[in-house]
């Protein structure tokens, strides 16, 4: 196994070669222009007026991008009321997920809850139990943060081997949005925590207003750290499916704890041990025992293109290999990409320095000559943790798990440019 540096002579040589290929492609393009009607003839869109400014009061994606949508896997759940769909990460770039593409997870369907009817209660071991309206919340000092939200079951179907043929389905239970809201500690301090005594061993139980009453226990140290009570995402109101009008944001921790339609925060002496933290969202190990309180999402990455839903269609020459990396324990510091199933690694270019508990976009510019590839990516985070192979995970946890699969993913890219989900561990 070897690594390469972006500044080494070999890479500089490749970049020089890629520039030459690009120049050749430009020459070929110029030669085609002479008989290309899209260049030589006036097209319909240039012969009449376009839409006026009020044609779409709320802008929607153009029809030519209609395939960039969330999708579910029909056999995964009995119905769509308690189910999940997947973000089309193979078709997006940058790091911010449009709300309309951000994956959904409901336990009893997405509910209609008007702002006027919204109430948030703070109770339990507090000095003064309080109830806030939506208008009350808008008057507290607010903050903006970009965080990823990942379902603990993301990539869960891949524990026993390659199952689903597409980055959307293997890794799409994730989104990354800019949330606006109030630190939970602000509301807890407003209610007063003297009655709770020593906060080091206290918890809060957070509960949603939907029929499932999804509830999770959170240690007080996390509740007072970076948890947000959010009412905006990407600058606009939360979508119905994301918990309108108010949801919890628990940075770096599994998505089930980001309770939607947040209605109650109770300060308690210990965890509730609800269904969602005992029979669900625990990790069954090789010997049949289950570990719990595994909230943090470990460092992980995936190549989003090329991939099964995003094959190479342009033929030989410059190829942009790209993907996403993230860590619930800090920021991404480096991503490596392998073209040969993990035998050799190259350091990818980060589009921007990694930020705390948010997605990082990476690129590897490659001169593809039609060869088969076994594409992999490997994330490093600010704690020094390196994303493991699936076999390394299995050695520790066996084959009975569903949650927290952050093993290295492999795409087999064929000579035709088509790609397939395979396992090279």
Tens digit of each residue's pLDDT (9 = 90 or more) over 315-357: 999 999 999 999 999 999 999 999 999 999 999 999 999 999 9
Q: What CATH number should be reported for the domain holding residue 217?
A: 3.90.420.10
Indicate the residue among 290, 309, 336 that finishes a domain: 290
The pLDDT, as a whole number, for residue 33 is 77
Q: Note whether residue 161 is domain-resident.
A: no
Secondary structure element (H or E) that encloses residue 123, with its range: strand 119-124
Sorting pLDDT into bands at 50, 70 and 90, what band is 24?
A: very low
Give yes or no: residues 185 and 131 share one domain. Answer: yes
**Residue from 228, 255, 256, 259 nearest 243 by CA:** 259
Between CA 401 and CA 409, with CA 405 as vertex, the angle to 5 degrees is 130
The pLDDT, as a whole number, for residue 7 is 38
CB 417 within 8 A of CB 411: no
Q: What is the mean pLDDT of residues 20-40?
A: 63
User: Is the confidence at residue 22, as pLDDT, over 60?
Assistant: no
Q: Note whether residue 349 is domain-resident.
A: yes
CB 239 within 8 A of CB 100: yes
Lowest mean pLDDT of 275-279, 304-308, 347-351, name the range.
Answer: 275-279
Give yes or no: residues 266 and 349 share one domain. Answer: no
Give yes or no: residues 248 and 326 share one domain. Answer: no
User: Is the confidence at residue 13, as pLDDT, over 70?
Assistant: no
Give yes or no: residues 248 and 365 share one domain. Answer: no
Q: Note whether residue 407 is domain-resident.
A: yes
Q: What is the mean pLDDT of residues 24-47?
A: 76
Q: What is the DSSP letter of 386?
A: B
Indicate the residue among 239, 270, 290 that finishes a domain: 290
313 Cβ contact list (under 8 Å, min separation 6): 417
Q: What is the pLDDT of residues 160-193, one digit of tens each?
A: 899 999 999 999 999 999 999 999 999 999 999 9
**Residue from 229, 264, 228, 261 nearest 242 by CA:** 261
Give yes or no: residues 338 and 273 share one domain. Answer: no
The Cα 394–Cα 309 span in angstroms is: 27
Q: Note whether residue 201 is domain-resident.
A: yes
The pLDDT, as a whole number, for residue 23 is 42
Give yes or no: residues 307 and 250 share one domain. Answer: no
- Terminal Cα-to-Cα distance of the chain (whole angstroms): 14
Give yes or no: residues 309 and 282 share one domain. Answer: no
User: Is the confidence at residue 108, as pLDDT, over 50?
Assistant: yes
The Cα 351–Cα 363 span in angstroms is: 7
CB count within 10 Å of CB 137 equals 21
Q: What CATH number should be reported for the domain holding residue 356?
A: 2.60.40.650
Place of tokens 């193979």: 90
The pLDDT, as a whole number, for residue 207 is 97
Give yes or no: residues 86 and 216 share one domain. Answer: yes
Q: Note whether residue 25 is domain-resident.
A: no
The Cα 102–Cα 177 span in angstroms is: 9
Q: What is the mean pLDDT of residues 401-406?
A: 92
Secondary structure element (H or E) that encloses residue 27, with its range: helix 9-33
The Cα 328–Cα 44 span in angstroms is: 50
The pLDDT, as a whole number, for residue 276 is 85
Sorting pLDDT into bands at 50, 70 and 90, what band is 30?
A: low
CB burial string 280-316: b at 16+ within 10 A, e below: ebbbbeeeeeeeeebbebbbbbbbbbbbbbbbbeeee
The pLDDT, as a whole number, for residue 27 is 42
Task: Catalogue the E-assigned strands of 151-202.
Answer: 174-183
Widest distance between CA atoms in the chain: 80
User: Is the confidence at residue 80, as pLDDT, over 60?
Assistant: yes
Q: Note whether residue 284 is domain-resident.
A: yes
Give yes or no: residues 256 and 131 share one domain. Answer: yes
**Helix residue ranges, H only, 183-284:** 184-191, 220-223
Indicate the number of domains in the chain.
2
User: Is the confidence at residue 84, as pLDDT, over 50?
Assistant: yes
**Proportion of the chain above pLDDT 70, given as a percent:** 93
* Rg value, the chain, Cα: 24
The Cα 119–Cα 127 span in angstroms is: 19
| pTM of model > 0.85 | yes
Q: What is the mean pLDDT of residues 101-114?
A: 95
The pLDDT, as a whole number, for residue 8 is 43
Q: Which two tokens stand for residue 88?
A: 């089309």
Give yes or no: residues 408 and 307 share one domain. Answer: yes
Q: What is the pLDDT of residues 350-400, one digit of tens each?
A: 999 999 999 999 999 999 999 999 999 999 999 999 999 999 999 988 888
Lowest mean pLDDT of 266-270, 282-286, 403-407, 409-413, name the range.
Answer: 282-286
Lowest mean pLDDT of 31-35, 146-150, 220-224, 290-294, name the range.
Answer: 31-35
Distances in whole angstroms, Cα of residue 101 to Cα of each of 4, 24, 35, 363: 35, 37, 39, 22
Higher pLDDT, 409 or 284: 409
Q: Which two tokens stand for residue 423?
A: 């396992």
CB count within 10 Å of CB 74 equals 9
Give yes or no: residues 379 and 281 share one domain. Answer: no
Higher pLDDT, 88 or 25: 88
User: Is the confidence at residue 35, as pLDDT, over 90?
Assistant: no
Strands 373-381 and 332-338 come out as: antiparallel
Q: Note whether residue 170 is domain-resident.
A: no
The pLDDT, as a whole number, for residue 31 is 57
The parent domain of residue 131 ranges over 71-156+175-290
Q: What is the chain's mean pLDDT, rounded?
A: 92
Q: 306 preceded by cis ω (within 30°)?
A: yes
Distances in whole angstroms, Cα of residue 172 to Cα of each of 161, 166, 302: 17, 9, 10
Q: What is the pLDDT of residues 51-73, one digit of tens each?
A: 999 999 999 999 999 999 999 99
Q: Which two tokens stand for residue 375?
A: 């594409």
The pLDDT, as a whole number, for residue 398 is 86
The Cα 96–Cα 94 span in angstroms is: 6
Q: What is the DSSP letter of 307?
A: B
Q: Note whether residue 363 is domain-resident.
A: yes
Give yes or no: residues 304 and 279 share one domain. Answer: no
Indicate the residue among 262, 290, 318 that finishes a domain: 290
User: Is the confidence at residue 86, as pLDDT, over 70?
Assistant: yes
């Amino acid at each position: 196994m070897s690594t390469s540096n972006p500044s080494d002579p070999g890479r500089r040589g490749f970049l020089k070669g890629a520039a030459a290929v690009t120049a050749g492609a430009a020459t070929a393009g110029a030669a085609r222009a002479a008989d290309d009607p899209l260049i030589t003839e006036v097209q319909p869109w240039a012969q009449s007026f376009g839409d006026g400014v009020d044609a779409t009061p709320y802008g929607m994606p153009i029809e030519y991008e209609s395939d960039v949508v969330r999708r579910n896997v029909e056999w995964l759940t009995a119905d769509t009321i308690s189910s999940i769909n997947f973000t089309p990460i193979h078709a997006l770039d940058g790091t911010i997920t449009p709300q309309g593409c951000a994956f959904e997870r409901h336990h009893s369907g997405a509910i209609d809850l008007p702002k006027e009817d919204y109430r948030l209660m703070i109770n339990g071991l507090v000095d003064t139990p309080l109830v806030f309206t939506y208008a009350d919340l808008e008057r507290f000092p607010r903050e903006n943060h970009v965080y990823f939200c990942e379902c603990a079951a993301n990539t869960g179907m891949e524990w026993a081997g390659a199952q689903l043929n597409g980055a959307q389905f293997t890794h799409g239970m994730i989104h990354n949005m800019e949330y606006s809201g109030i630190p939970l500690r602000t509301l807890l301090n407003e209610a007063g925590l003297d009655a709770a005594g020593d906060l080091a061993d206290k918890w809060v139980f957070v509960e949603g207003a939907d029929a499932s009453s999804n509830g999770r226990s959170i240690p007080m140290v996390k509740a007072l750290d970076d948890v947000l009570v959010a009412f905006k995402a990407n600058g606009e109101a939360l979508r119905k499916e994301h918990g309108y009008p108010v949801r919890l944001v628990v940075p770096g921790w599994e998505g089930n704890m980001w309770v939607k339609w947040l209605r109650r925060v109770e300060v308690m002496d210990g965890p509730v041990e609800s269904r969602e933290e005992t029979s669900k969202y625990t990790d069954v190990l090789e010997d049949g025992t289950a570990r719990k309180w595994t909230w943090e999402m470990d460092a992980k990455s995936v190549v989003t293109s090329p991939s099964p839903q995003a094959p190479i269609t342009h033929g030989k020459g410059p190829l942009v290999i790209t993907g996403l990396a993230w860590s619930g324990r800090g920021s991404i510091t480096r991503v490596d990409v392998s073209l040969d199933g993990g035998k050799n690694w190259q350091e990818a270019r980060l589009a921007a320095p990694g930020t705390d508990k948010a997605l990082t976009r990476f690129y590897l510019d490659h001169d593809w000559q039609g060869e088969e590839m076994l594409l992999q990516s490997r994330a490093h985070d600010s704690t020094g943790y390196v994303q493991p192979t699936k076999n390394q995970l299995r050695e520790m946890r066996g084959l009975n798990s569903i949650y927290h699969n952050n093993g290295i993913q492999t795409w087999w890219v064929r000579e035709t440019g088509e790609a397939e989900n395979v396992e090279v561990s």
